């Protein structure tokens, strides 16, 4: 099948995917990735829990393998992610049995960012410096009065952990684009909070270049009007935007709904949702890269989360064959 990334390149939209070192080591999957995608991100290999499992130790092999593949195929590489409450280097939050002090956690964060961003300098063009720090309309996740998630970062350091992280990243690689990345960014309250965050950082002289919209269209049915409003709101701050983790789950259209078979109707509906979203993004010209979260339905994280389930959220099936969503995307590109 013709290259998806090639078609989007012609429409001036870099289009890519999240990959793993294991996929790149498999010739068939590596060929699929090289053919269809034009920009990459590590699905897990560049997260702190993998890069720094223990204090003072770095395991860069997975990230390096992805960076080498990206360079070989002339694909820009996004770095994901430096400061997040999940898949963190948990040792950072502890000092023996006790909670780490504020000063020590800041020092550890700064050191980590300096070392990791420094290691990938010149190979990663854009970093998700902070991931998922804002929470709205999710009673299961505690947040402060300004919507900042009560993560260990926020709790131990205070809301200024974000500013500290961005300053450290800018220092480590002045040429990298620095992003704030989050999910459900089309929620009007969340979009407003992100806009406020960007403005606050800029007002304080902190370098922030972009906002990443994850676009896991699984927990929610994003309305295109809300997506458009969020993109316009973020654009008004002057930063660039990427869609960083796109997928359209078939099995979570109403949360909890169990789908037991992938039907042609579900795939046609999914194709339509991919088509209308990409049509919007191409028309608006405010999003300068789009990445899907996985290379085929066999490789999607949604197969295992929230619970093992029948899922088919991407545009290639489990045999890597193009699905209706692929054709819809080729159509709109």
Catalytic option among 43, 132, 163, 311? 132
Please give the helix or strand (H or E) that residue 9 lies within, else none: helix 4-10
DSSP 8-class letter at 279: H
Name the residue nearer to ligand XIL (CB basis): 100 or 295: 295
Interstrand relation of 40-42 and 15-19 (parallel, antiparallel or unpaired): parallel
- List the one residue from 3, 44, 288, 303 that touches ligand XIL (CB under 6 A): 44
Name the residue nearer to ligand XIL (CB basis): 117 or 328: 117
Name the residue nearer to ligand XIL (CB basis): 161 or 179: 179
Instruction: Give me the least distance between CB of 34 and ligand XIL, in Å please.
Output: 21
Count of residues near ligand XIL by CB under 6 A: 6
245 in catalytic set: yes
What is the C-alpha to C-alpha distance for residues 55 and 64, in angstroms, rounded to an integer? 20
Name the residue nearer to ligand XIL (CB basis): 44 or 237: 44
DSSP 8-class letter at 153: I
What is the C-alpha to C-alpha distance for residues 8 and 10, in angstroms, rounded to an integer? 5
What is the C-alpha to C-alpha distance for residues 120 and 107, in angstroms, rounded to an integer? 20
Name the residue nearer to ligand XIL (CB basis): 100 or 184: 184
Instruction: Give me the least distance between CB of 84 and ligand XIL, in Å please.
Output: 7
Contact flag: residue 296 with ligand XIL (CB under 6 A): no
Within residues 99-138, the interface with ligand XIL by CB under 6 A covers 131
Contact flag: residue 297 with ligand XIL (CB under 6 A): no
Instruction: Give me the least distance between CB of 186 and ligand XIL, in Å please.
Output: 15
163 in catalytic set: no
Q: Is 92 helix (H, G, I), strand (E, B) or coil?
A: helix
What is the C-alpha to C-alpha distance for residues 206 and 71, in angstroms, rounded to an integer? 29
Within residues 64-103, the interface with ligand XIL by CB under 6 A covers none
Please choose, from the candidates 165, 178, 172, 167, the residue with its C-alpha nearest in 3D space to the C-alpha of residue 212.
Answer: 178
Residue number of the CB atom closest to ligand XIL: 301
Name the residue nearer to ligand XIL (CB basis): 163 or 247: 247
**Alpha-carbon distances, residue 8 vs 141, 160, 253, 289, 307 (angstroms):** 37, 38, 27, 10, 33
CA angle 209, 211, 213 (to 5 degrees): 155
Q: Is 309 helix (H, G, I), strand (E, B) or coil?
A: coil
147, 134 contact by CB (below 8 A): yes
Integer-rounded Cα radius of gyration of the chain: 19
- List the one residue from 23, 186, 187, 214 that touches ligand XIL (CB under 6 A): 214
Catalytic option among 43, 163, 184, 245? 245
- Write out the catalytic residue numbers: 132, 245
Instruction: List interacting residues with ligand XIL (CB under 6 A).
Output: 43-44, 131, 214, 245, 301
């Amino acid at each position: 099948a013709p290259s998806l990334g090639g078609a989007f390149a012609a429409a001036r939209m870099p289009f890519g995917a999240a990959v793993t070192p294991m996929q790149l080591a498999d010739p068939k999957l590596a060929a699929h990735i090289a053919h269809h995608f034009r920009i990459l991100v590590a699905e897990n290999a560049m997260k702190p829990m993998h890069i720094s499992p223990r204090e003072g130790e770095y395991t860069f092999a997975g990230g390096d393998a992805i960076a080498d593949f990206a360079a070989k195929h002339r694909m820009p590489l996004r770095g994901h992610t430096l400061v997040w409450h999940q898949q963190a280097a948990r040792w950072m939050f502890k000092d023996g049995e006790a909670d780490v002090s504020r000063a020590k956690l800041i020092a550890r964060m700064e050191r980590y960012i300096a070392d990791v961003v420094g290691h990938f300098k010149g190979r990663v063009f854009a970093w998700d410096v902070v991931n998922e720090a804002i929470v709205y309309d999710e009673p299961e996740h505690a947040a402060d009065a300004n919507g900042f998630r009560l993560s260990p970062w926020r709790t131990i350091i205070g809301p200024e952990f974000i500013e500290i992280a961005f300053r450290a990243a800018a220092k480590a690689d002045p040429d990298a684009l620095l992003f704030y990345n989050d999910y459900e960014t089309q929620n009007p309250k969340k979009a407003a909070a992100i806009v406020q965050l960007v403005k606050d950082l800029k007002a304080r002289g902190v370098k922030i270049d972009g906002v990443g919209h994850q676009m896991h269209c699984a927990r929610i049915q994003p309305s295109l009007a809300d997506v458009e409003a969020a993109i316009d709101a973020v654009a008004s701050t002057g930063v660039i935007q990427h869609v960083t983790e796109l997928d359209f789950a078939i099995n979570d259209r109403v949360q909890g709904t169990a789908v037991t078979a992938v039907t042609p109707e579900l795939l046609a509906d999914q194709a339509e949702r991919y088509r209308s979203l990409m049509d919007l993004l191409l028309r608006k010209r405010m999003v300068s890269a789009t990445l899907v979260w996985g290379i085929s339905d066999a490789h999607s994280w949604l197969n295992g989360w929230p619970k093992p389930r029948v899922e088919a959220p991407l545009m290639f099936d489990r045999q890597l064959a193009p699905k209706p969503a692929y054709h819809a995307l080729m159509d709109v590109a």
